[in-house]
Amino acid sequence: MKGYVYYAKEELVRNRGFIDDLMVESEKIGIDLHLLVEDELPDADADFILFRDRNPEKAVSFEQNGFHLVNRAQVNDIANDKLKTFELAILLGVPAVPTKKVRSENDINTFPCVLKTIDGHGGTEVMLCNNEADAGTFFTQFRGRSIIVQPYIESNATDVRVFMLGQEVLGAVKRSGNDSFKSNYTLGGSIDKYTLSNWQEKEVTTIARALKSEYIGIDFLLLPDGSWLLNEIEDPVGARSLYKTHDFSVAERLIEHVKRKLTKPKSGQLLQIH
């Protein structure tokens, strides 16, 4: 079996450890895995491409050329569009942070609010706005980008990221922000292993099943009353916090999952969100 792991050039250095782990684990189970970067082309006989980029257009181009992607292009599209993520949650009946697209600060009726670029990630294109002037600053900074607004919801800067491998919960991490309303681990937040309740596991499984995803992260705001709200879906999802809190190789689990899936008959088409 032959496969590729695809990364954008700027992501190579900080993901080198995970790439190396994938290579080692692939060799153990007889998969010939190669690194594919930017505009390099895979061999036509490749069995799969682990697509580790936030680029739905590139993902679609690979699929149109007959390559099997993990995750599929439609998963990448929905996960990297916060409005489509919200629409998916509504369709599935999963509680989510209310989200709408806005064109300017004049479209915002209530403060405080949170503004985000529709395709941003890692908490770097997010701003808590207390008034119209704050919002105006954000629109100026990200002029020409699609922007969504969400109400500010008190969560004590705490959220839960659930890592899904197919329809299985691979692990979950509680993230808490330090001196910020953002809880992202890469921005200095703290992390702890988190165990899902039965109802939480049911909700994340519902999402993964609808997406027909292979490996994603699902982020929920964890509210003081114990409930949660879907905030974002991550594809690709980084595994640093999972490695820190769990005692198994994420790369091993992922590559074994890919091999199992490729030996089974193909399933139906992915749920589409327009």
Contact assessment for residue 208 and residue 216, using Cβ atoms and an 8 Å cutoff: yes
Strand intervals (E) in 210-269: 215-222, 228-234
For residue 82, the model assigns a pLDDT of 97
Spatial separation of the C-alpha atoms in residues 19 and 17, rounded to whole Å: 5
Q: Is the pLDDT of residue 224 over 50?
A: yes
For residues 115 and 232, give the distance between their C-alpha atoms in angstroms, rounded to a whole number: 14
Averaged pLDDT of the chain:
93
Structure tokens that stand for 14 in this block: 């900080």
Q: Say whether pLDDT at 265 is over 80.
A: no
Q: What is the pTM of this model?
A: 0.91
> Given a cut of 90, is residue 58 above it in pLDDT?
yes
Both tokens of 196, joined, read 């899902």
Query: How far does Cα 212 stand from its chain's mean position?
Result: 14
Confidence band, pLDDT 50/70/90 cuts, at residue 273? low
**Residue 66 class from Cβ within 10 Å (0-12 exposed, 13-18 middle, 19+ buried)?**
exposed
What is the pLDDT at residue 274? 53
Examine the pLDDT at 170 and tell me if it is beyond 70: yes
> Which residue shows structure tokens 């705001």?
221
Provide the token pair at 254: 């992922």
